[in-house]
Structure 1
Amino acid sequence: MIPPVTSLVKYDNPKIKSTHDPPAQQQQQGVISPTKTKASATETQKLKETDEILSAILPPREWQESGQLWVQPVSSTPATRMEVLGLKELLDTRIQQRQARETGICPVRRELYSQCFDEIIRQVTIECSERGLLLLRVRDEIKMTLQAYQTLYESSVAFGMRKALQSEQGKSDMKERIVELEEEVKQQEKMVADWKNKYEALEKREAERRVADQTKHQEEMQFAKRTNQQLKTQLEGIIAPNKK
């Protein structure tokens, strides 16, 4: 593990983690009056509860260096007005240094504002632990909402990718189907052209046959008329002498 990066959250100085740290009561020296002891015990208990809440809200950072385990808990020192103003300036500076986006989705900006919100929770918790726990609840709710939106976004992207792949596959199938249909249309057009040629040839033959039949019929009629005229002439020639 490597030492943690700089955060907007205020931490105490790191120290080597040891399981043999003496309790705070044993570190105190000198004789203390009962009244002061009672007040000090109450204050110590309150500070201990605050430290426990801070540790639960913002767990200490731990890392190994030179074979030793280092721990760095969050600071339990109340923040002054100047420190709050300095936090605002530091936030603006970090945003510029890390070139965070001003609008849209930006993981860098989200990380910096999350650190700033954690620092505010730390400051509020020191003054009022109940208020700090309420802010913790708000922070967790915001994180769950963001995670839900992120999960929804990832699901939407995956769904879109699947639909895009399906559409590409469908497009390929449609292209193949279009080629098949175009080939079928060409074959049908060729068949139509063949039948049209056959129809035109048949109609041409029928027209020629009708013309031939009409011509033959006209010739037969002319022949019949001439024959009739000849017979009539012969008949008149036969009948005329008999009248005389």
Structure 2
Amino acid sequence: PPPKTKSGSPENEEILNVIFPPREWMEGNQMWAQRVSSTPSTRADVVNLEEVLDRKLQQRRALETGICPVRRELYSQCFDELIRQVCVNCAERGLLLLRVRDELQMTIAAYQTLYESSVVFGMRKALQAEQDKVDMLQRISAQEKEKEDLTARLNAQKDERVANERRDEAKREAQEKKRAEQIQFLKRTNQQLKTQLEGMVAPKK
């Protein structure tokens, strides 16, 4: 474990710089660095930190429940400031809080990855279901079209059968009429021949 340090000691400042690395940037030809403050906090500082947190949550319209990146960012910043305040007074306690923070962040990242995977999986399933629905509607439409075509063919065959039956019936009637006329013609001819034959064989007075 690290050696115990006193509040505001150089060792504490060094640990603070490790936990919160200085921010460096170039401005003109000069290199500027901004380091985290090693000034111990008071009760008023903690109260002010809470007020600032509540104000920023309202200003940035963070959601009160559910997943909200804005709320998570603001609470993370607040937690970092608490770690800084604790670390100024007790480096060991600050390092332990840092460890807790990192573990929470890794857990949250794991849950976020799981959530995003679930969302992607759900969207993929929803898209697949929608595509299956479209395919099913297309198959239904094709089957309905095929049914209409088969119905039209069936009706055409029925009409053709009725027309053939009517032609056959008319043909039979015409043949029967022709046979009847032939029979009548033969009967008349037979009667005429019979009459002529009777006239020829009758005795003359």
TM-score range, shorter chain: 0.5 to 0.7
Higher relative contact order (CA 8 A, sep 6+): 1
Cα offsets for 1:136-190 (capped at 9, x unmatched): 1111111112211222222223223333433343333323322221122123323
Change (3 A) 1:155 1:184: same
Change (3 A) 1:93 1:106: same
1:69 corresponds to which residue? 31
Residues in 2 aligned to 1:53 and 1:43: alpha-carbon distance in whole angstroms: 10
Residues in 2 aligned to 1:133 and 1:91: alpha-carbon distance in whole angstroms: 23
Pairing partner for 2:48 from 74, 86, 89: 86
Letter in 2 for 1:100: A
Alpha-carbon distance, 1:54 to partner: 1.2
1:144 corresponds to which residue? 106
Alpha-carbon distance, 1:194 to partner: 5.0
Alpha-carbon distance, 1:196 to partner: 5.3
Residues in 1 aligned to 2:74 and 2:5: alpha-carbon distance in whole angstroms: 34
Residue 125 of structure 2 is aligned to residue 169 of structure 1: no
Letter in 2 for 1:131: R
Residue 62 of structure 2 is aligned to residue 111 of structure 1: no
Pairing partner for 2:85 from 92, 99, 123: 123
Residues in 1 aligned to 2:99 and 2:71: alpha-carbon distance in whole angstroms: 21
Residues in 2 aligned to 1:77 and 1:96: alpha-carbon distance in whole angstroms: 28
Change (3 A) 1:155 1:67: farther
**Correspondence list, 1:18-97, <5 A:** 47-97=9-59
Change (3 A) 1:153 1:182: same
What is the SS of the residue equivalent to 1:103?
coil
Alpha-carbon distance, 1:48 to partner: 2.8
Residues in 1 aligned to 2:122 and 2:81: alpha-carbon distance in whole angstroms: 39
Cα offsets for 1:14-68 (capped at 9, x unmatched): xxxxxxxxxxxxxxxxxxxxxxxxxxxx979x82322222122212122222232
Alpha-carbon distance, 1:107 to partner: 1.9
Residues in 1 aligned to 2:103 and 2:70: alpha-carbon distance in whole angstroms: 20
Cα offsets for 1:60-86 (capped at 9, x unmatched): 122222232211111112111111112
Residues in 2 aligned to 1:92 and 1:48: alpha-carbon distance in whole angstroms: 33
Letter in 2 for 1:154: E
What is the SS of the residue equivalent to 1:105?
coil
1:155 corresponds to which residue? 117
2:145 corresponds to which residue? 183
Pairing partner for 1:102 from 64, 73, 90: 64
Alpha-carbon distance, 1:202 to partner: 8.9
Calculate the TM-score normalised by the size of structure 1.
Answer: 0.57
Range with greater deviation from structure 2 (157-166 or 84-93): 157-166
CA-based RMSD: 3.3
Gaps of 5+ in 1: 1-41, 210-244
Alpha-carbon distance, 1:118 to partner: 0.5
Letter in 2 for 1:47: S
Residues in 2 aligned to 1:67 and 1:163: alpha-carbon distance in whole angstroms: 56
Calculate the TM-score normalised by the size of structure 2.
Answer: 0.66
